[in-house]
Amino acid sequence: MTGANGVALEIRGLSKAYAPGRPVLHGIDLAVEGRGITAVIGPSGTGKSTLIRCINRLVEPSAGEIRLHGQDLARLRGRALRLARRRIGMVFQEYNLVERLSVMENVLSGRLGYVPLWRAWLRRYPERDIARAFALLDAVGLPEHATRRADALSGGQRQRVGIARALMQEPELLLADEPTSSLDPKTSVEIMELIATLCGEAGIPVIVNIHNVPLAKRFARRIIGMAGGRIVFDGPPEALEEHHLVQIYGGEEWL
Amino acid sequence: MSDGVAVRRDPAAPLLREWTRFTPRQRLARFAIWLGIVAALVWSVRTIEIIPEFLADAPEQMADLLIRMWPPDLRYYPDAVHAALVETIHIATLGTILCFAFAVPIALLASRIITPVPALNAFAQLLLVSSRSVNTLVWALVFVAIFGPGAAAGVMAVAFRSIGFVGKLLAEALDETANGPIEALRASGAPWGAVMLKGYWPQVQPAFWGIALFRWDINVRESAVLGLVGAGGIGVVLDDALNFFQWDRAATVLLAIFAVVILAEIVVTRIRARLI
């Protein structure tokens, strides 16, 4: 992995247009360091989610480079793309767990990119993976829930499983797409705290899309403000002032 | 805002607003559809040419038949009916299992989200429709010609008729799966097989077993008549009894089929309740 001050992810000239001639992202340039949380804020429909999904290619970028430790992810296809995705964990707004599987199986599915298919089929995951899954369940505060079905959990518990699944990949980068938007304020803070602690300990840089500006300021080392598919603010949370928020979200009455 | 403007234009305007469920055009279309249904009904009644005399003495004939059937010749059951009944259930079960060998790959091809190639989807749909468009009895005639009379032809007939039904329902279940978990597994670098196994399969599993049991239930009923065209099972015994006008034996066969269908229904309902 990269040293503490090295650049982990470098994005250059990233553009995306879902329909020709109507770009959602206009030539984004962004370099993310090897540790800490980078929060992306901005109004709905401004391309935050598209930006994050371009990084692990859940969305195909139209132009530009996305370099993870030097490797250009935007050019990868097939097996090479799959191997690159193993290095990037992702946490979703709607948790995206497989509802009918147990918590343990959901966490272990973070290893599907690594284990042979027959092991997954027979549920014969390597000892090391199972030990790690138990350790992660302890870390996210669900030590008793390994055998429960995912659809029996509350929203906050599901997101904890989602975090454990993403960390199961031993990723070099964690992407979080609105991880707290479906949760109540208290649980939101707990989830952000969990991401900050676990990724801080493991030295995994995090890019998180977030609607809640105070929450972003509280946990992020760096804030990226987006408006109209462009980066309009980039700096530490202390530097984010009211006129920046007006620039990002528009209007003033809400402030 | 615009309230002031509206009041100035016509003070009674808000009271004069009218609401109708359908536009005149929609009303006309609905009338046309009803007219079409009535026309179709009249046309079909005229085409099938019901002979009034036959209709009139139908109750008499029915009563006559029932009297000849009563009492059922139950001694006939251990002699001939039991073995045929077991064979019928075997035909249904083997046919259902065999059908899945064909139906699962075709369903994967037919599902738009698993196979995002419209030409392949259309091809798979064509296979499914052609399987469904031929009745089990017709499939049985075809396979009796190929394999000769007997249970093997019955198994193949049941399997081929079931492919269309099972394949269509499976493809629909696959198309209705939630994309979120699939996306999460793809994002973690899981290969195609693992996404199928841990993303799609858990989601379609209840539908899969539901479809399998439902089809088995249908196949038990269908394989009961296969013997009429020589494809094995209890239908052979029924056919013999009918040909020799042994109505009391035919009644025994019908009772046996009835009992098995009821039993199958109970078993299937029980298992389905546990699955979900």
Is the bond leading into B71 cis (omega within 30 degrees of zero)?
Answer: yes
Beta-strand relationship, A63-68 and A37-41: unpaired
Contact flag A56-B191 (C-beta cutoff 8 Å): no
**Cβ-based contacts of B185 with chain A (< 8 Å):** 98, 109, 112
Tokens representing residue A66 in the block: 């996305």
Superfamily designation of domain A1-87+171-183+204-255 = P-loop containing nucleotide triphosphate hydrolases (3.40.50.300)
The DSSP element (H or E) to which A18 belongs, if any, is strand A7-19
Confidence of residue A252 (pLDDT cuts 50, 70, 90): confident
CA distances for B117 relative to B113, B127, B165, B167, angstroms: 9, 16, 22, 17
Tens-digit pLDDT profile for residues A155-175: 999 999 999 999 999 999 999
Q: Which of A58, A96, A113 has its CB closest to that of B181?
A: A96
pLDDT of residue B180: 95
Beta-strand relationship, A206-209 and A22-33: unpaired
Q: Is B95 buried (19+), middle (13-18) or exposed (0-12) by CB count in 10 A?
A: buried
Beta-strand relationship, A222-227 and A230-235: antiparallel
**Whether the predicted model's global pTM rises above the 0.95 cut:** no
Q: Could you give the CA distance from residue A168 to residue A91 in angstroms, rounded to a whole number?
A: 12
Q: Is A170 helix (H, G, I), strand (E, B) or coil?
A: coil
Q: Where are the domains of chain A?
A: 1-87+171-183+204-255
Q: pLDDT at residue B88 above 60?
A: yes
Contact of B210 with chain A, judged by CB distance below 8 Å, is answered with no
Contact of B98 with chain A, judged by CB distance below 8 Å, is answered with no
What is residue A163's DSSP assignment?
Answer: H
Asked if B99 and B159 count as a contact pair (C-beta separation under 8 A), the reply is: yes
DSSP A56-71: TTSS--SEEEEEETTE
ipTM of the modeled complex: 0.92
Q: Which of B185, B188, B209 to mutate to test the interface with A (most CBs of A within 10 A)?
A: B188
Q: pLDDT at residue B61 above 90?
A: no
Q: Could you give the CA distance from residue A84 to residue A77 in angstroms, rounded to a whole number?
A: 10
Asked if B115 and B109 count as a contact pair (C-beta separation under 8 A), the reply is: yes
The domains found in chain B, sorted by start residue, are 77-275 (1.10.3720.10)
Tens-digit pLDDT profile for residues B92-125: 999 999 999 999 999 999 999 999 999 999 999 9
